[in-house]
Structure 1
Amino acid sequence: MNKVHFVGAGPGDKELITLKGYRHLQTADIVIYAGSLVNPELLTYCKPECEIHDSASMDLGQIIEVMERGLRENKKVVRLQTGDFSIYGSIREQAEELGKLGLQYDCTPGVSSFLGAASALGAEYTVPEVSQSVIITRAEGRTPVPSKESIRSYAQHQTSMVIFLSVQMIEKVVTELIEGGYRETTPIAIVYKATWPDEKILKGTLKDIVQKVKEDGITKTALILVGEFLGDTYNYSKLYDKDFSHEYRG
């Protein structure tokens, strides 16, 4: 029997899907895509007779039902999910349900939106002697966050941080960041629909970003990037230093 193929769609730009993901779409008989998040232009890679389902209006049971039916009919089923499904992709619950039915799956990773956002800014999360770590998290909303993983607790590290699914709570997020340890002068960027044609970027500091977001009306589909990696301070790495030899130099 065939497998369900989970494919990361990339951050938005239809050309930022992997070659393997593109080939899966080309040969799919059934595609279930996250309609509220995945660029529908990716579906132009599918063959005309491909059966396409928008999961925005489906619950978990309905998604699994389509997958099971497709595999029982010996069809190739692709589950197309936004960015890379390993970050807020809900792949685990789908995999668990497939396992209960004795159905197999495989995964083709995608370019996460947090990478697309950095590219949109021309930024590097890891700047020598400024930041060597990246925290990926979200604010607590309808889905609880473990108490040890609050934005406030992470803020004490003052490293590069990417906050998903939280721009609608920007005021709360900024308060948590400042109370956790970031200075009000810390640079911050809001990247709306990174790599999409209607991408939008707001830049500021923790002191003024709330007002900028409110004035612009951004309430969803945006990432919050915060940290000194967005600032003017930087140091050159040793990788390309003329006095530094390295076997991994590219």
Structure 2
Amino acid sequence: MTVHFVGAGPGAADLLTVRAVRLLESSPVCVYAGTYLDAEVLAHCAPGTRLVDSQHLDLDQITAELQAAHTAGLDVVRLCSGDPSLYSALAEQTRRLDRLGIPWDVTPGVPAYAAAAAIVGRELTVPEVAQSVVLTRVAAASTAMPATESLAAFAATRATLVLHLAIRRIRELCASLAGAYGPDCPVVVVANASQPSQVLLRGTLDDMADQVEAVGLRQAAVIMVGEALRAENFVESHLYGPRHRSSG
């Protein structure tokens, strides 16, 4: 018996990996994060699969579900929104499973920021404009951010900034980032990326807070900030450029 932590992707049922679909089809138990998941993803499960929505369960209750399946000799898919490597509580859950001697593995998924970038048709790393992407969040009703990871420090790099779990503080964020990026810096907000309820907002640090508040976004949104989001005049990458042989 194995607990399979599976990235459910940004929500759309057809953005799962082939491996993820096979695990859903073959596992008798599926513990899923219902808050961010398109219900059609669960259509990949076999008839009779025990479905457990974890959105109202605490870590002890989730662990108990996984342990009960292990005791019964049943494989479990633990569906995580996006990719398990980002803000999925993978570390907390696997630490508990290790203590209980329960085997587990991880199947990656499409992260929400990648789906958001695809929706707007933008590369987040543009030659000589931005070659780094910072994936971060802000401290709200959650664990504190490490002292070395202040938003101001990240903004000072002027890298493409991707903020998760931060949409409720959009006005404060835009005001804070305007000093480093400039008030006219482009901002894209994508909520429920790839799902029928998807919302896409384009603007700047000067006007994005008004847009977000106007449509009432409160969760499941990715905020992307940086000049790469609108760059048109930039040098071409050497990746596909001519290769010069040295003479000698």
What is the TM-score with the length of structure 1 in the denominator?
0.94
Q: Could you list the runs of 5+ residues in structure 2 that have no partner in the other structure? A: none
Following TM superposition, by how much is the alpha carbon of 1:131 offset from its aligned partner in structure 2, in angstroms?
A: 0.6
After superposition, give the CA deviation of every residue in 1:52-73 in whole Å (9 maximum; x if it has no partner): 1000111111111111111111
After superposition, give the CA deviation of every residue in 1:155-198 in whole Å (9 maximum; x if it has no partner): 0001101000001100111122123x111111111111111122
After superposition, give the CA deviation of every residue in 1:57-94 in whole Å (9 maximum; x if it has no partner): 11111111111111111111110110101100001111
2:97 is aligned to 98
Deviates more, 1:228-237 or 1:165-174: 228-237
Gap change, CA 1:148 and 1:175, over 3 Å in 2: farther
Gap change, CA 1:201 and 1:67, over 3 Å in 2: same
> Tell me, what secondary structure is at the counterpart of 1:239?
helix
CA contact (8 A) 2:126 2:231 kept: no
Partners of 1:29 and 1:228 in 2: how far apart?
47
> Tell me, what secondary structure is at the counterpart of 2:181?
coil
What amino acid does structure 1 have at the position aligned with 2:209?
V
Note if 1:48 corresponds to 2:56: no
Alignment of 1:137-148 (within 5 A): 137-142=136-141, 143-148=143-148
Partners of 2:16 and 2:139 in 1: how far apart?
30
What amino acid does structure 1 have at the position aligned with 2:167?
V
1:209 is aligned to 208
1:164 is aligned to 164
1:225 is aligned to 224
> Tell me, what secondary structure is at the counterpart of 1:178?
helix
Please give the root-mean-square deviation of Cα atoms over the aligned residues, in Å.
1.4
2:113 is aligned to 114
Partners of 1:75 and 1:215 in 2: how far apart?
47
Q: Quick one: percent identity of the two aligned structures?
A: 36
Following TM superposition, by how much is the alpha carbon of 1:232 offset from its aligned partner in structure 2, in angstroms?
A: 3.2
1:60 is aligned to 59
Deviates more, 1:56-65 or 1:162-171: 56-65
Partners of 1:201 and 1:17 in 2: how far apart?
22
Partners of 2:216 and 2:74 in 1: how far apart?
43
Following TM superposition, by how much is the alpha carbon of 1:46 offset from its aligned partner in structure 2, in angstroms?
A: 0.7
> Tell me, what secondary structure is at the counterpart of 2:51?
strand
What amino acid does structure 2 have at the position aligned with 1:3?
T
Q: Could you list the runs of 5+ residues in structure 1 that have no partner in the other structure? A: none
Partners of 1:240 and 1:8 in 2: how far apart?
32
Q: Which runs of 4+ in 1 moved over 3 A?
A: none
Deviates more, 1:14-23 or 1:207-216: 207-216
Note if 1:153 corresponds to 2:157: no
Following TM superposition, by how much is the alpha carbon of 1:238 offset from its aligned partner in structure 2, in angstroms?
A: 2.2
CA contact (8 A) 2:129 2:231 kept: no
Following TM superposition, by how much is the alpha carbon of 1:240 offset from its aligned partner in structure 2, in angstroms?
A: 2.5
Following TM superposition, by how much is the alpha carbon of 1:108 offset from its aligned partner in structure 2, in angstroms?
A: 0.5
What amino acid does structure 1 have at the position aligned with 2:154?
Y
CA contact (8 A) 2:36 2:192 kept: no
Following TM superposition, by how much is the alpha carbon of 1:245 offset from its aligned partner in structure 2, in angstroms?
A: 6.8
